Structure 1
Amino acid sequence: MSSTTARPFADAHVLDDLGGGRFRAHLDDTWAIGPKAFGGLLMVLMAKSGLARLAADGAPSPDPLAVSADFLRAPDLRPVEIEATPLKIGRTVSSVAVRLFQDEKLMLHSTVTAGVLPDDAPRIDAEPGLAAEPGPDAVDPADAQGGARGLAAACEMRYPPGSLPFLRGETGPPEMAGWVRPRGEDVDVLFALMAGDILPPTVFNLGGTFGWAPTVQLTALLRARPAPGWLRVRSRSHTVSSAQFDEDVVVVDAAGRTVCQARQLALAPLAR
């Protein structure tokens, strides 16, 4: 599958405003994991709907500061409806509850915390861990036989050489790293939010079943608006137990600033 639009990310989060804090979005196979919608895109749709509702109710310059979502069910690749209900509109921080439905069934529940992202340089920030741009030896999924597939067809992705042992039939620590940027547009804060869920599941490197690893709960903190260029993404698991594992993700922009931190609880990969 290859994208049929010049701006796959921007086109994927278009909302139809139905009035009264209700929105409709259309899910297709551009951003999908098999027959299900990609969780990172769902986070973007929830955040954008919540921010639109807050802006309509007079919240001052709302940026996403935190987005927390419970994944109750996995939406199919069909239209969904989203309802946003303000919980508080404040001078500094506002909050809105967002629910996503498909066929009148609740699929996701989210809380979006909004305010104004800082522009000043941070006093403390983590080391990026990766160079600002992928080098000539970086792995490009589009070079694989048949070209880019899945998420790698919807955005540009690169991986450090030797960083994906599972692709070589080997095992390694539950860690992932790579670079990502949208096709046909600059990065923005919503793309940074999605990047917090863009890498393959860390547990792939442990060996065993490779498949869909459904998210149970994901919370993302947005720390700044990203500078133009590649985003650097690193993820790792602290605990893998029974059918559950966690992932901590840090997203750093081309200027070396942390723009998103995400933590999720997910289920061990399910065969599709």
Structure 2
Amino acid sequence: MSSTTVRTGRPFADAHVLDDLGDGRFRAGLDDVWAIGPKAFGGLLMVLMAKAGMARLATEGAPATDPLAVSVDFLRAPDLQPVELETTPLKVGRTISSIAVRLLQDGKPMLHSTITAGVLPEGEPRWETGPVLAPEPGTDAVDPAAAEGGARGLAAACEMRYPPDALAFLRGETAPPEMAGWVRPRGEEPDVLFALLAGDILPPTVFNLGGAQGWAPTVQLTALLRAKPVPGWLRVESRSHTVSGTQFDEDVTVVDAAGRTVCQARQLALAPLRP
């Protein structure tokens, strides 16, 4: 894969291309398009693992290959180099299947995942908690790609917007550990895999508490996929319930343009150390 730049107008589609090595093994490239500094973005790594798991289940005759739940232990942070994915089916059922996926780099385990597959529900839900954000960002929304020097980091890989008051830490202020924003892929409409990625797209909530800013590595993240998103912006809201010592939690809800929840994610992460 390309090592430094967005190759086409569809950087998300470019990023989750898998080479089938046979025997349930796949290879993928990692580059600095979807990266946090020198390390691969965790949301993309989850997408690669989910895609590999779904591909393997399809060869095993699983009748339904939508990801329903993706649970990942982040053992080590991969460098921006190729990785391999090994898949092991745990159960192939008529309605629910399960598969384990390991992501390795230079033969060393980096992430371990268990993926539950089935059929995502369609139609209107019986109950839905309404989103806080409007379906689309307003004219006063903050566009990180409009900053001096142009788009950098994840803002170059996908379109992102934030409410004017969302990023207190950028103004040198403190606020509750909450974040919100809109996101969508460049050059294509969001799908289930992008909804999964969106569950980890916002800046760490602890940034708003003040102190050090930097890499906040995820320890464990479990995402539930709830529906296939309709075209348009995804609305993402995250908040921490407890920040204690070096650890914090985040609960994230991703809602599509129609107001339907498409992903719910909860993670345990390590807060950046104070200088």
TM bucket by the smaller chain? over 0.9
Aligned partner of 2:149 among 146, 149, 158: 146
Trace 1:144-223 onto structure 2 (pairs within 5 A).
Answer: 144-223=147-226
CA distance in 1, matches of 2:200, 2:57: 25
Aligned partner of 2:13 among 10, 16, 41: 10
Deviation (angstroms), 1:245: 0.2
CA distance in 2, matches of 1:270, 1:240: 13
What's the TM-score, normalizing by structure 1? 0.98
Residue 55 of structure 1 aligns to a residue in which SS? helix
Residue 63 of structure 2 aligns to a residue in which SS? coil
Q: Where does residue 255 of structure 1 map in the other structure?
A: 258
Partner deviation per Cα, 1:93-137 (whole Å, 9 max, x = no partner): 000000000000000000000000001211111111100000111
CA distance in 2, matches of 1:87, 1:100: 17
Q: Where does residue 104 of structure 1 map in the other structure?
A: 107
Q: Extract structure 1 runs of 4+ deviating beyond 2 A.
A: 1-5
1:228 aligns with 2:231: yes
Unaligned runs of 5+ residues in structure 1 are none
Name which of structure 1's ranges 161-170 and 216-225 shifts more when overlaid on structure 2. 161-170
Partner deviation per Cα, 1:207-229 (whole Å, 9 max, x = no partner): 00000000000000000000000
Structure 1 residues 151 and 271: CA distance shift in structure 2, 3 A: farther
Residue 215 of structure 2 aligns to a residue in which SS? coil
Q: Where does residue 127 of structure 1 map in the other structure?
A: 130
Aligned partner of 1:27 among 26, 30, 34: 30
What's the TM-score, normalizing by structure 2? 0.97
Aligned partner of 1:44 among 40, 44, 47: 47
CA distance in 2, matches of 1:22, 1:271: 41
CA distance in 2, matches of 1:122, 1:21: 35
CA distance in 1, matches of 2:11, 2:45: 14
CA distance in 1, matches of 2:45, 2:158: 16
Contact 1:83 1:99 in 2 (8 A): yes
Unaligned runs of 5+ residues in structure 2 are none
Aligned partner of 2:69 among 48, 66, 70: 66
Residue 235 of structure 1 aligns to a residue in which SS? strand
Residue 156 of structure 1 aligns to a residue in which SS? strand
1:243 aligns with 2:257: no
Q: How many residues align?
A: 272
Structure 1 residues 271 and 16: CA distance shift in structure 2, 3 A: farther
Aligned-residue CA RMSD in angstroms? 1.2
Partner deviation per Cα, 1:172-194 (whole Å, 9 max, x = no partner): 00000000000000100000000
Amino acid at match of 1:212: W
Deviation (angstroms), 1:162: 1.5
